[in-house]
Amino acid sequence: MEARILLVDDEPNILSALRRQLREKYDVETETDPTKALAGLDPRRPYAAVVSDYKMPKMNGIEFLHAFKGKSPDTTRLMLTGHADLDNAMRAVNDGNVFRFLTKPCDKDNLLKNVDEGVKQYELVTAKRVLLEQTLKGSVELLSEITSLVNPKAGERINRARRYVKYLAEKVGVKDMWRYDIATMLSQLGTLILPPGTLDKLLSGKDLSGEELQMIEMHPVIAKSLLSKLPRLSQIGEMISYQLKGFDGSGTPRNAIKGEDIPLGGRILRIALDYDLALQQAETPQKAFLRMERDSEPYDPELMYYLESMLGVEARYQIKTVSLVELFPGMVLHEDVVSLQGAMLLRKSVELDKDKIDRIHMFMKHVGIPDTITVLVPEVA
């Protein structure tokens, strides 16, 4: 696929000339108005490089590329101008807004050479980011799988809570949803320290000993400590460490922080995990919510409002037994997927996506599983 290049210059004739020099190798788009160029940026279709004139109406090239960097930081930025002045060149490069500073007239070979280098820079930056994201995703999934293997109840709880967290986070308009999902996936990492059966007792509502309660209070801090050793997870560790903190200041960690000073991720985890706990002990989602509402001081009032609205969403699931070919993304496993030999393959409460459905078909082909699976099916409104 050809790399996408954006050319911005208020002189249409110059744009046409530049486009002719680059179109044989790149997918070139042009714009005479820098403000329209900024307004038309689509994060789903980023440009590999942008080439801007310096002297333009409404904003100059440095201002434009600075704003462009804020909207598309990975795009390589080049400036082409007939007003070549050293101060502007130094400002543009030192501010980190420009990769190359070229002067008009710029011959085709020189222009193409610099655009080529800009595209290579973009490819290096994006490849590095993708590698980091894949490494991070793999590390998180590994830790989550380990938690589920060692403590299956914790794994089931994570799978249920991910739906609640996603719903609440979307309602409050968070931008970095991936952080909240990862925080949920790793929220029970610290439960690995719990003695066997402790989490079962908690979920079933049985009385816990003083030592068991103390260890449960410790598990978020232990998870935070473990995650501090991984890059880019410090903010997520902070969310996890506040999952037992009440909006009224109660709970752990025992400090003076309360209300909206508590990290939003911590507040969302607290209400999602407490709802899951109440749901395990109540007969219906409505009874679980009423149980929380009777003692609502530990919960963010806005999140409680959204939790109540979520009950209608949860009620729109039907329990069905379907064949493997009837599976589709959005279904939720209502029972474990177990091989014919009794090996655990996927735990209940997992929301299915294309990858998980492909895995189920692979299990069917190579391992052997039952022909039907019981799932929660979202009703179409």
Give me the CATH number covering residue 339.
3.90.105
Domain that holds residue 82: 4-127
In a 10 Å sphere around its CB, with 0-12 CB exposed, 13-18 middle and 19+ buried, how is residue 19 labelled? middle
- Cα four-point dihedral sign 341, 346, 352, 354: negative
Looking up residue 190, the CATH number of its domain turns out to be: 1.10.3210.10
Could you tell me if 107 and 15 lie in one domain?
Answer: yes
pLDDT at residue 381, rounded to an integer: 46
Q: Does residue 273 share a domain with residue 289?
A: yes
Residue 165 burial (C-beta neighbours within 10 Å; 0-12, 13-18, 19+): buried
Q: Are 378 and 317 in contact, with CB atoms under 8 Å apart? A: yes
Does the pLDDT value for residue 380 go beyond 70?
no
**In a shared domain, residues 307 and 335:** no
* pLDDT tens digits, one per residue of 10-49: 888 888 888 888 888 888 888 899 889 888 888 888 898 9
Verify that 373 and 294 share a domain, yes or no. Answer: no
pLDDT at 130: 73
**Cα–Cα dist 101/25, whole Å:** 21
* Domain annotation covers residue 141: no
Q: Do residues 164 and 275 lie in contact, with contact meaning Cβ atoms separated by under 8 Å?
A: yes
381 found inside a domain: yes
Where is the domain boundary, 127, 142, 168? 127
Domain total for the chain?
Answer: 3
29 and 85 part of one domain: yes
Mean pLDDT of 82-107: 71
Residues 113 and 90 in one domain: yes
d(CA 371, CA 320): 14
Peptide bond before residue 195 is cis, with ω within 30 degrees of 0: no
The structure tokens listed for 116 are 């080529």
Q: In this predicted model, what pLDDT tens digit does every residue of 342-379 receive, in sequence order?
A: 888 887 777 888 888 888 888 888 888 888 888 888 76
103 and 72 fall within a common domain = yes
Residue 232 and residue 279 in one domain: yes
Query: Is residue 180 one of the residues assigned to a domain?
Result: yes
Better-predicted residue by pLDDT, 255 or 103: 255
